[in-house]
Chain A
């Protein structure tokens, strides 16, 4: 069994699962019907992408593993997502800031992965790019609208960007499994995406009349399974049905 490949796939896929779950929490709670539908549509796209990755992982693991056991039956320390995506839906500004900071990264990552030597990863990336391009357009648009909107919306989105900024650096960290996969031409070297990422993000923030935070201190840990205090609550909800009624199906 290729452990590095499995860990690599989980690193990519768990980001989408956890962000998808966060967006799903907003179902019925969006500030307007249109944004509610948009956020849950994005959630659906992400969960669809996750299924493709997890099905591949299940196939690599063999035995009784399925996409569902991978999604629902791991312990907190076994999830490989970055801290950014597990941050809570404090308000609409936070939801949009988190989405924007992730989308710009996600798109750049998929652009690399579509050239992966692993055919399955390349196919999933090729499919997902089209969707994530649309997500990026949506979140960038809202950054501009809120930043260049009222005094209140400007203040709120700037606060959210400032608060979430400390989680951006981790996007470009690499675990040992990541490095091994990069060496084999399967994974993408995220460290090379960093400067273009910050340029792109700053450009949109400037258009939105927002400040790019000048923060040198960053948080990390998610990629190694060390999550923030929010993760346990998120997983409690995500895993509730399978933990309470093991093996239940629709």
Chain B
């Protein structure tokens, strides 16, 4: 999502874009779709963020990182956590998906393909290392709540797959 879609002032947007997801440092919190709004009220920047998963331990860190990023530019910021509407992988931007793949994490498929892949019915998840579709599910849960664990049978590399969440 870009600044216009989220209706965020360009100056604020650029600062938010400089804050990265602590679990996936190549990705900014904006590209992750975690930032829902930002505006200035009575001289304080108010930012609303939403968790990818309820238990995501990165949320507290993200809140602190946002505050210090704004502080560095001379703003006071307040961060609120909102739950509704619930985050979905559709909010990861195109740029974000490319960054994930480059980082070695397979980006989420659509809901139907995701189910087929996670039930082990079809080989649909592409290995981010060699591009082969000959991959298999190792575990429904991966290194973090948002990922499942796969292995490529062509290049034998294990990798994380970002689960589809709708």
Interface residues of chain A, those whose CB is within 8 Å of chain B, are 34-35, 37-38, 41-42, 44-49, 51-52, 119, 122-124, 126-128, 130-131, 134, 137-138, 141
Contact = CB atoms under 8 A, between A and B. Distances in A.
Contacts of B155: none
Contacts of B145: 41, 44-45, 131
Main secondary structure of the interface of A (DSSP, over half): helix
Given A34-B139, A37-B142, A138-B141, A45 B54 contact: yes
A128 B51 CA distance: 11
B75 interface: no
Given A38-B139, A41-B145, A45-B145, A127 B84 contact: yes
Main secondary structure of the interface of B (DSSP, over half): loop
Nearest to B166: A130
Interface residues of B, number: 25
B141 A38 contact: yes
A137 B140 contact: yes
Of B57, B139, B141, B144, most buried by chain A (CB within 10 Å of CB) is: B141
A52 B81 CA distance: 10
The 7 A-B residue pairs with the shortest CB-CB distance in the complex, in nearest-first order: A48-B55, A48-B54, A123-B84, A34-B139, A44-B55, A38-B141, A41-B141
B86 A126 contact: yes
A78 to B, nearest CB: 23
B142 A48 contact: no
Contact of A34 (B86, B144, B149): B149
